[in-house]
Amino acid sequence: MLLIGMNSSHAQRKRIFTDRQTFGVVTYPSTAVITANMVDGYIKMSGNNRFVFPTTDNGVYRPFAAAANGTTGAYFSANPAIGITTSHKGGNYPPLPAGAPFSSTSKDANVGKVSTQEYWDINGTTATKITLAWHLESGMASFAPGQNLNKIYIIGWTGSKWVKIPSTVDQMSLYGGVSYISAGSMTTNAAIVPNTYLAYTFGADLTNTREMAPGADSLIASDGTEILKPENSSQDEVEAAVYPNPVRDRIFVRNGRKIKQVSVWDMSGRRLISVSNAYEKGIDVNGIPAGIYVVNMEDDKGKTTSRKIIINK
């Protein structure tokens, strides 16, 4: 059964929902150009033309492209090291796809960092070049060393670790414009069989050698992901946290400094909540729709630290 809803970020597109756990799928001919719909779940292509899969998850539109008959895939707006996303029926799916979660610390030596924002499950038995897209929520501005897109590449999960897949930034992205740090796409240099890897996401080189100094510029978070400490940032800023994440009704914040104000913003830059006291008892987010948001914590020195959260319903 398919359910259709509207997406506030892409109001011109209707969302079609399929069940990710039972592998529900929408099939499109490879000659189709989909501009009216996007699918929160799996899509299958029929034909051998290059097809742009209009995949989305919880309102985050992130297409990918392939050119082999029978290729099937879905987008997950979630940390691959956790592998859990929200079901349109309510609650969370279990870790998906089979084999998830995918540790961000298990990686080849030539993979510096693993994206903790998103991943794709792409399946098929016929070799094809694969294109993945990023947008503002992908966090490439902080993920890419020096915001250099040439330091980013596609990576695949072999079943035990992430490996680099030679890939090149697209001059014309899947979004229709030139690829840049806030929106773009990249394509594998060679055709690969999608089933070769259990999941795909973005990898990046380390920013510089300082970030590899033990105890100086990197931390390992509780979920096993690597947190790179920006130059000139304090230990307090790095250890700031918003939890639980994902959240359903109430969030809590932690910061090494005294917090002056906490605010919640949507991805279009609107402030939805601002709390200057009593945040220790938690902040009620029941009135905010499901989706991805940013929590800003301003300390008593005027410094602001931000953390992204997912609100589930």
- What would the pLDDT profile of 87-133 be if each residue is shown by its tens digit? 988 899 999 998 999 999 999 999 999 999 999 999 999 999 999 99
Mind giving me the DSSP string for the chain? Answer: --EEEE-STTTTSEEEE--TTTT-EEEEETT----SEEEESEEEEESSS-EEE-BEETTEE--EEE-STT-EEEEE-S-TTT---B-TTSSBPPS-STT----SS-B-TT--EE-SS-EEEEE-SS-B--EEEE-GGG-HHHHSGGG-GGGEEEEEE-SSSEEEE-EEE-SB-TTSSB-BTTBEEEEESS-B-GGG-S-EEEEE--S-GGGGSTTTSEEE-TTS-EEEPPTT--HHHHH-EEESSSBSSEEEEE-SSPEEEEEEEETTS-EEEEESS-GGG-EE-TTSPSEEEEEEEEETTS-EEEEEEEE--
Q: What is the pLDDT of residue 239?
A: 52
* Confidence (pLDDT) at 234: 46
- Whether 76 shows a pLDDT value over 50: the answer reads yes
Mean pLDDT of 263-286: 82
- Among the listed ranges 96-100, 151-155, 161-165, 279-283, which one has the minimum average pLDDT value? 279-283
Q: Which fold has domain 236-311?
A: Immunoglobulin-like (2.60.40)
pLDDT at 267: 64
Model pTM score:
0.66
Q: For 125-158, what is each residue's pLDDT tens digit?
A: 999 999 999 998 898 988 988 888 999 999 999 9
| Domain ranges (residues) in the chain | 3-204, 236-311
